Structure 1
């Protein structure tokens, strides 16, 4: 979201865009959740087991449980084709969206051409992805996906919030700019959310998840496997982000940011 929003015009209504994006995403997730839990509840009732015993989130839900649900529907072959076609489109678009963030960041950070960036990073991504095509690829995917999302992303988000809000103290600047260009005004609750509520929630999630995974390995995988492909991947996320963050942006991007901040001050936004 940060990468894509950086391409918006300087005076875009950022607050309104954020509300539209957030509510649209949450709305579709809510509708999808209703359908998923209804189907899982039906299967759990037929099997005589709790819902959490039917399946958990992830690969098993998409490739094991949903096909079983589709088999119960009339015209199941048609719905099966539509489901996996939708899954393919979702996978490709997600791949493009994630890769574009990586390409844009590397290109702008190291002043590389887009073609060179795609060539280098695309090759690296393909080579790394080959491990998921091996016989144990499903286990690699399961562990990497779990730890990257539940630890890597949460840690990075926590570091971002603490750095911007508590260390650099930039929230007043961003709040005033957002209020200047947006119809929806940000108030005290916005600052409290980012300075107090969000760090506490992310910190709790991180600590609780760490404790639970220390007590019991995720998916009952061997400790060596979880440490090598789980904890190490999560730590690598944070390490790479911190190392790359130490490198300064190229002069053109920095000057654009400085010019934008000067415009804010000239308009009374400080």
Structure 2
């Protein structure tokens, strides 16, 4: 493991650029790539959806990814430390992002636990013929939205395994834990899923499934909702604007090609989404063929329903079902776990930065607290409904708000956009022009504001999924309010970590950098 030591700063780093790239891809490629993109594309114009998808990738996804990279790499910290180094009051935005990582992590682990259970179920097709009843009633034992204290052992046990694995990886650190896990798991994920796709496209009816996915409906391009769906998919898929990529960039070596790495991560993520679309809809075409119905008549084409209800039924019909079931659910476990690690390293490292805890102490503390909350809320008979509610509000309200605030504050309020652009240009081969400022300061915030207003209006006026108002208020809006309050409270204590935010000198130095600001400030070195 290497350690960057500069200006009083000691920080774990990736040992090589490929380690950073694999880790960033591991964060970006998650459950949403497999169960969200195919369904969104199908419902939003089929092949025509690829046009707004590509536009969203180039005008918002990659530019905001670069913004995350610039903040983390230049200011050498997780979101709270990096934003504090930019301007003291902005530290609270960093804690808001860290709070979102915490909230998303505690329920995301539950879905990985489901996938882990289904990995073993796949060998005997334990879900039977009625996959919906098995998932909701037999496995999750879900009853109704509410507050339940009845634990479901089939969820709680694999959930404990997931959190123990998280603890081990976090305790091992960046080079020995995160880097090695992703270098092994990400190629394995691509190979396993590619094998599944190759088999799926050779099944009877696969062509009909691909036609359903890729046949372009050009009239969809005039629908604003389709464009919002494209920006939403890119935004959530890349894991941007809520602290993950800021943390990962802070672990990158000083002399690292940041923008070229970002392009590799972005296009690898999108390539996997398209690969997932091909595999999923080939399999759905086969299933429709077996049922002698059209693909459009199938139910559950996106989200958990696709993975845990529709796909088990598909797998049961496939030759070699046990093997391909294990491939599919094994892929879900790997994709989910690498993303969960990125969520938790953002939380654990932020605590290390502020309170000066050792890596292992932070890892144990974060894993224990998150694990207990995760089990208490999401392995009960009401866990499915709680998870669904928290996920909707944390992502569609919390994360989108975080992205808007970050873009507006950095580009318009503090005017740090050009400095961040020049930092990336100083360390990278792919140079950013001033058009990048327009993309992160205008185009992305405009679409994000439209998205936020639309989603907020929908849940305020129509509620969510017919759940009781008290329930969505408590677990939906309550999760956003909790994160907001925590962001303010966590800003108040003084910094006790080794990395003093007030005596930090960025590297490489730019003309506006102030040298010698503080009693311990000194020129940074690279080791």
TM-score grouping bracket, smaller chain normalisation = 0.7 to 0.9
* CA distance in structure 2 between the aligned counterparts of 1:233 and 1:49, rounded to whole angstroms: 40
Matches within 5 A, 1:149-228: 149-228=395-474
TM-score (norm 1): 0.87
Q: 2-side partners of 1:226 and 1:216: how far apart?
A: 11
Q: In the superposition, relative to structure 1, how do residues 266 and 220 fare at CA in structure 2: closer, same or farther (>3 Å)?
A: closer
User: What is the aligned partner in structure 2 of residue 7 from structure 1?
Assistant: 251
Closer, same or farther: CA 221–50 of 1 in aligned 2, 3 Å: farther
Q: Would you say 1:111 and 2:356 are equivalent positions?
A: yes
Could you say which residue in structure 1 is the equivalent of 2:268? Answer: 24
Residues 54-108 of structure 1, C-alpha deviations (whole Å, 9 max, x = no match)? 1153222211111112122111121112222222233333322211111011111
Higher relative contact order (CA 8 A, sep 6+): 2
Cα deviation for residue 25 of structure 1 reads 1.0
In terms of fraction of residues, the more helix-rich structure is 1
Aligned partners of 1:138, 1:195: CA distance in 2, in Å?
37
Q: CA deviation at 1:206?
A: 0.6
SS of residue matched to 2:362: helix
| 8 A contact 2:425–2:432 mirrored in 1 | yes
CA distance in 2, matches of 1:54, 1:213: 24
Structure 2 distance, partners of 1:124, 1:66, is 33
Secondary structure at the residue paired with 2:499? helix
For these two proteins, the number of residue pairs brought into alignment is 267
> What is the CA–CA distance in structure 1 between the aligned matches of 2:495 and 2:296, rounded to whole Å?
49
Residue 76 (structure 1) aligned to one of 318, 321, 325: 321
Per-residue deviation, 1:185: 1.2
CA deviation after TM superposition for structure 1 residue 167, in Å? 1.2
Summarize the alignment of residues 100-139 of structure 1 with structure 2, pairs less than 5 Å apart.
100-130=345-375, 131-139=377-385
CA spacing shift, 1:81–1:42, aligned 2, 3 Å:
closer
CA distance in 2, matches of 1:17, 1:137: 38
5+ residue gaps, structure 1, are: none
Task: Determine if contact 1:15/1:184 at 8 Å carries over to the other structure.
Answer: yes
Which stretches in structure 2 are left out of the alignment for 5+ residues? 1-244, 514-527
Task: Determine if contact 1:12/1:181 at 8 Å carries over to the other structure.
Answer: yes
Q: 1:199 offset after TM fit, Å?
A: 0.8
Distance 1:231 1:119, change over 3 A: same
SS at 1:220 equivalent: coil
Contact kept? 2:301, 2:310, Cα under 8 Å: no
Task: Verify the 8 A CA contact 1:143 1:226 in the aligned structure 2.
Answer: yes
Q: Structure 2-normalised TM-score?
A: 0.47
Q: Deviations over 1:161-185 (max 9, x none)?
A: 1111111111111111211221111
Distance 1:26 1:262, change over 3 A: closer
Q: Distance in 2 between matches of 1:57 and 1:237?
A: 28
From the superposition, tell whether residues 48 and 244 of structure 1 become closer, same or farther in structure 2 (CA, over 3 Å).
farther
